[in-house]
Structures are given as structure tokens and as C-alpha cells.
Amino acid sequence: MIAKIEQLLQEVEALTASNAEELEALRIKYLSKKGAINELMADFRNVPAEQKKEVGMKVNELKNKAQEKINALKEQFENQDNGCDDLDLTRSAYPAKLGTRHPLTIVKNEIIDIFARLGFSIADGPEVEDDWHVFSSMNFAEDHPARDMQDTFFIESGETNVANNIILRTHTSSVQSRVMEHTQPPIRIICPGRVYRNEAISYRAHAFFHQVEALYVDKNVSFTDLKQVLLLFAQEMFGPETKIRLRPSYFPFTEPSAEMDISCNICGGKGCPFCKGTGWVEILGCGMVDPNVLELNGIDSKVYSGYALGMGIERITNLKYRVNDLRLFSENDTRFLKEFEAAH
Ligand code: DAH
């Protein structure tokens, strides 16, 4: 019997288990009711009286060893990182994973910040608009070819009467009218928002995009004021080295009208593929609010004058972050969006 116990002692000493099930199997094998040690106990009464003491001690030793070994193995498993570390109740929580701002939102906020510092407040208007606010109040004549400049999505066609058309706004200039119809000058607003045009989607055109409109109407507002604000905006947005230039242009709602270029911020004005070697890139349209627009919207053009400007947020974002495929902005590919994690 002593030999049997010695053998079991050696076995127990060498036990290993690589998972909880194996360990449980060992416990059953040695320590359960029908386990090897209990079986030994059953034989105990056959042990001669003079050996009982020695054998008893040995069996006890074996029992303790087996228990110790199984406990030790168990502890080993519990200390292993099993991905479930909810045992330390004093541990602080995992930081919540924050998403990233969309690049267009980052740039929109930056534009708003710059204009807010100049005293502009934010105005809003509907994306589903009537013809009046998008076109007629902005001095587009009914048969004016300028209406063709912007391919319009129709929600409801007014048939023969364009005044009854319900459309998706093609530009944020409609908000100029929305504000002027209920506010007398001084008016100093910017309106960021989504606009829609019936365009085939490609890397450089989309059926929806974003604009920011700015409108300033007061007494004695001049082109000089506009130019000053444009220069300040360009330098705040693209850096103090940035130069601007204005080229005469045409919009039905401004007279005179201009398009503004900035010195190419990619090559610094030396000429590169991005600016097609010219050193300049166009970023916005602007001009003095046409007196007709003031009158159409209930503002006395003999007393007040104003300037307006409008820019595409995608365009500004492309210039700042070199995103050269417009479609990326609306595809929600998190690999793209995550690139802007550090940008605020
Ligand atoms: N609405 C014009 C467009 O969508 C942009 C624009 C040009 C807005 C000149 C203005 C402006 O306010 O003065 O192309």
C-alpha cells in the first residue's frame, strides 16, 4: 500500500493541465468521491494495525499534496489574461471611443469661425425651396439663360408657370432672400448648407455638395469692404502669405460680380499641376448685391447697398486637405474619415 501511495504522490507532483476542463478531469480522477485517493481510503481497513499510523499519515500527505497541486494549477489559470478583467472593480472605465468630425464639417466650422469674428451670424433656410427664393428673388428672369447655369432637381413642376416650381435649392443664395424678406439692414449673415444640382457624379462633380453664402447689407457698403473681407478670409483660411485676385464675372444677383482666386497654396504660386501651371486657384464668387435683388426683397436700394459671396465647401476642403475625389466625401469610408482624426 505504501508503494501505491508513493506512486500516486509522484503522479500528483507531475500533474499539468492546460485548461479548466483538463483540471476538472484531474480533480475528479484524484479527489472526487470515486477518485484514486478515496479508493485508497477504502483499503485502509485492511492495513495491519501496526502500519495504520504510517499509512494514515502518508494518505493524508497525498491528499493534501493533490489538493495543493490542483489549487496551484487553478490559480495559474485564473491569473492568465482570459480577456475578462472585470475583477478589479476599482479600475477606471475604458475611455469612450470618439468618432471623427467629417472633413467638410471641420472646414465649415473653420469658415464660420472666421466670419463670426467679423460679426456675421448664421442663417438657415430650407433645402426644398420654391422658385422665388432660389431664382426669381435673386434676379433670374423667367427666361433668363442664367437659369440654365444650374441644372435643377424638381420636386414639383409648376408646368407653364415657373413661379409654382418646387425644387431642391441649387445654391445657398436662396437664404439671402429668406433673410432679407423679414429683416431690415444692417444684415450680416453667413449661411452654410447643402445644395443640389442635376449632375452626373464623377470625381469632380456631385449631385449634392455644400456651400457657404455670406451677405452684408448696410448703408455705404462698398466693394472695398468686400475686398478687405475676402483678403482676410483667404489669409485666415490658407495662411498669411496668401494673395488674392479678383476677375470680373457674371451672376444675376450681383453687379459688379467677380470670381476670386487665391495664390495656389500647394506650389505657393509658382505653378503646379493643381493650379494648371497658373499659380492661382479659383475659390469663390462674389459681388455687390444687385439693387434689383434688394428691391425684390423689400430693401430700399437707394438707402442701402451690400456685398455677397458664395463658396463651395468641398472646393476649400480640397485645397486644404488635397482630397481629389469628391465622391469620398459622401461614401462614409471610415478609412478616409479617420485621416481627419487629428484635425479637430
Ligand atoms: N450662388 C453662386 C453659385 O452657386 C455663388 C455665388 C456667387 C454666391 C456670387 C454669391 C455671389 O453670393 O455673390 O455658383
The pLDDT-based confidence of 148 (bands split at 50, 70, 90) is low
In the prediction, which pLDDT does 82 show?
58
Mutate-to-test residue for ligand 1 from 137, 150, 170, 171, highest number of ligand atoms within 8 A of CB: 171
Per-residue pLDDT, averaged over 143-155, amounts to: 77
Cα-to-centroid distance, 254 and ligand 1 (Å)? 8
End-to-end Cα, the chain, rounded Å: 78
Question: Strands 254-263, 244-251: parallel, antiparallel or unpaired by DSSP?
Answer: antiparallel
Instruction: Give the residue among 250, 257, 297 at the shortest CA–CA distance from 132.
Output: 297
Does the Cβ of 308 fall within 6 Å of ligand 1? yes
In the prediction, which pLDDT does 179 show?
98
Does the Cβ of 177 fall within 6 Å of ligand 1? no
Does the Cβ of 192 fall within 6 Å of ligand 1? no
Strands (E), 179-263: 187-196, 208-218, 244-251, 254-263
In the prediction, which pLDDT does 83 show?
60
On whether the CB atoms of residues 178 and 140 are closer than 8 A, the answer is no
3-class SS of residue 285 = strand
- pTM reported for the whole predicted model: 0.73
State the chain's mean pLDDT as an integer.
90
pLDDT digits (tens, 9 = 90+) for 238-274: 999 999 999 999 999 999 999 999 999 888 889 998 8
Residue 290 to residues 185, 257, 300: CA-CA distances in angstroms? 15, 9, 12
Cα four-point dihedral sign 309, 315, 318, 319: negative
CA 265, CA 317: separation in Å to the nearest integer?
12
The residues facing 214 across adjacent strands are 190, 309
On whether the CB atoms of residues 169 and 126 are closer than 8 A, the answer is yes
Of 1-15, 78-92, 151-165, which gets the smallest average pLDDT? 78-92
